[in-house]
Amino acid sequence: MKNILIIIGVLITILGIATLFKSDQYVGFYYPDANDLLNDIQSQQTFDSLDLCRDWIDEQVSIYNPDDSEYDYECGKNCDLSGGKPYICEETSE
């Protein structure tokens, strides 16, 4: 019984440490038409920083809105993409 408690304690400690070292991941959501937020383009990859996500957004703007018409975007931090829309993110930033 004592060995089982020790094993459980070690596993909880390992999981806690792994969570502390987990890096944030960002996903980009680009809306070519700011008046239609149901139509979005989602980044296929994740980004290690908010700035890299914003760089991806800039690329999308140059492709889909070169005249700088009304668009919108957000970068989601640590999003759960396993379910359908709407996705749940820890936070979103512009």
Instruction: Give, for all 94 residues of the chain, the pLDDT tens digit.
Output: 777 766 666 666 665 565 555 699 999 999 999 999 889 999 999 999 999 999 999 999 999 987 878 999 999 999 998 887 888 999 999 8
pTM above 0.95, yes or no: no
Cis amide prior to 32 (ω within 30 degrees)? no
Q: Nearest 5°: CA angle at 33, between 94 and 39?
A: 90
Domain borders along the chain are 24-93
